[in-house]
Amino acid sequence: MNIKILMGIVAVFLIAGGIYILATQEELPKEIAVDPKNVVTKTVNMSGMTCEACEIAIEKVTEKPGVVKIKASSPDQKAVVEYDKTQTDIKTIMKAIELKGFKPVSYEDEEGLHELTPVQTEKAVPEMKCGAGKCGGNK
């Protein structure tokens, strides 16, 4: 009889624990599917990219919703950005790049070159110092 009571108590705790875990779990954000017909490509002209580590840091902006792909090139000071125009826009992506420590100065698309206005570039971003020993003033 003692074993039955013990098994009943264990079962109650397991069920209560399962309910608690399910009730307190945060719902993970669901990734929104990217429709290929909404994907656009723009080239961001950069300042402050000096090495491969800088390129990798910029390419990590693909973790943002709607960003499909970024290919950065430090020799060219450019980042080619593919994104879903229904989920984000180029200025939001450029702001995310700026938060990584780089300075987007303009972008190019099928309509031509789009210079950022002085208000948009007012906050100067220092050159990235990624720790690889090649960046910024560490050359």
d(CA 94, CA 98): 6
Instruction: Decide if 26 is inside a domain.
Output: no
- Whether the CB-CB separation of 116 and 110 falls below 8 Å is answered with no
Write the pLDDT tens digit of every residue in 66-76.
Answer: 899 999 999 99
Residue 1 lies in a domain: no
Instruction: Give the residue numbers spanning the domain of 88.
Output: 36-138
What Cα–Cα distance (Å) separates residue 46 from each residue in 18, 66, 120? 51, 21, 14
Tell me the two tokens of residue 1.
């009889």
- Sheet strand arrangement including 112-115: 67-73, 78-84, 39-47, 103-109, 112-115
What are the tens digits of pLDDT across the range 49-87? 889 998 998 998 888 888 999 999 999 999 999 999 999
Q: What is the pLDDT of residue 109?
A: 82
Amino acid at 66: G
Q: Say how many domains are in the chain.
A: 1
Within a domain: 6: no
The domain spanning residue 96 has which CATH number? 3.30.70.100
